[in-house]
Amino acid sequence: MRMQDSNVIGELDLEITNALQLAPRVSWTDLGHVLNAEPTTLARRWQRLLDDGVARITVVPGRHTVTELLSAYVDLRCANGAVTEVARILTDHPEVLSIHHTAGSAQLMIVLSGGPRLPDYLLTRLGGIPGILEYAVHIVPDLLFETHRWHARALTADQQARLRELNAIGGTVSAGRRPRTEVDQQIIAKLCMNGRASQQELGAAVGLSAPAVARRLRRLLRDGVIRLRCDVARPRLGLPSAAFLRGMVDPRELSAAQQRLGDRVPELRLITALAGSSNAQLSVWLRSAADLFRVEERLNRELPSLTVKDRVLVLRTMKLMGHVFDDSQRYVRTVPLRIG
């Protein structure tokens, strides 16, 4: 999947980020055993990736959160010359998880976190921003293929298996799915700023002991409230382009194909259910815009019922799950998510 380009990260950095895609909070000591490298070297290289704005550990809403609360994609049609200012205003809204500048009838596509405040946000805050001419809302009732399953495939099968074992959470889903508390939200906010914060650091931030915060974090992950993933700026992976495909697919066919889709179509990042004239949206990362139709062909081989109704090409990503990009697609700051 990688292009040979001086802008693409080196082999060791790719292995580190791939490992953290599979086990975002693995210790440097354990990772050193998997990659056959010195833990201090791995920690130093990771810190440089952070400092250079190349990579981040990202918190994303898990499937339970998406199915429990209203979440949405919103297409924004903006006045000429207003796109940059609208995006700048939206960047600081914690409800706005992601912002994409897109080609087509809508100039921006945003991802909104769910919850009972969603209708009020749409009617008051979003509707009151100067420069927005109109918007279309696409409600997301479910996640069908989650982004935390995507990885760069730079490691051997044995290394991948060892990392997945290290990342295993264990235990059973909480009976009745305990309600989230303000302390849970504080833990999530701290993880948004530093997804590899130690249990001691998390505990100090929320006023709990390290074992207590570890139990809460395990529950949040095990119950699907949040997921952690390692994101690398697309151009540094040799995948500078991205697109969203909206259309219809047989849910039974998709369910049967889920386990193999990631291997057969490695450009596939995410599939969400939609409540509307299309029942699914697929997110893909691409070497170039010209790859879109080749990827679509492979998707059709795996999902014969897939009928694409709309293709939305991403021109630039301005914010991704709370992480804000500069014009060169480097992470520059983080706006912590508010889950629910």
The per-residue pLDDT for 280 is: 97
Residues 4-28 have a mean pLDDT of 90
Going by pLDDT thresholds of 50, 70 and 90, the confidence category of residue 242 is very high
Going by pLDDT thresholds of 50, 70 and 90, the confidence category of residue 6 is low
The per-residue pLDDT for 1 is: 43
pLDDT digits (tens, 9 = 90+) for 130-143: 999 999 999 999 99
Going by pLDDT thresholds of 50, 70 and 90, the confidence category of residue 212 is very high
Q: Is the dihedral of CA 77, 81, 83, 87 positive or negative?
A: negative
**pLDDT surpassing 90 at residue 179:** no
Specify whether the CB–CB gap between 53 and 329 falls below 8 A. Answer: no
Residues 282-294 have a mean pLDDT of 96
Fold designation for 64-143+319-334: Alpha-Beta Plaits (3.30.70)
**pLDDT surpassing 50 at residue 228:** yes
Going by pLDDT thresholds of 50, 70 and 90, the confidence category of residue 146 is confident
**pLDDT surpassing 70 at residue 176:** no
Whole-model pTM above 0.85?
Answer: yes
Residues 216-233 have a mean pLDDT of 94
Exposure string of 232-246, with b = 16+ CB inside 10 Å and e = fewer, is: bbbbbbbbbbbbbbb
Residues 151-169 have a mean pLDDT of 95
Residues 306-324 have a mean pLDDT of 97
The per-residue pLDDT for 80 is: 92
Strands 268-275 and 280-286: antiparallel
**Domain locations in the chain as residue ranges:** 64-143+319-334
Q: How many alpha carbons fall within 13 Å on the CB side of residue 217?
A: 28
**Which segment of 24-33, 63-72, 152-161, 210-219 scores lowest on mean pLDDT?**
63-72
Going by pLDDT thresholds of 50, 70 and 90, the confidence category of residue 114 is confident
The per-residue pLDDT for 340 is: 65
The per-residue pLDDT for 107 is: 98
Cβ neighbors of 185 (< 8 A, separation 6 or more) are 338, 339
Q: Distance between CA 195 and CA 17 in Å, rounded? A: 13
Beta bridge partners of 248: 307
How high does pLDDT run on average in the chain? 93
The per-residue pLDDT for 4 is: 41
**pLDDT surpassing 50 at residue 70:** yes
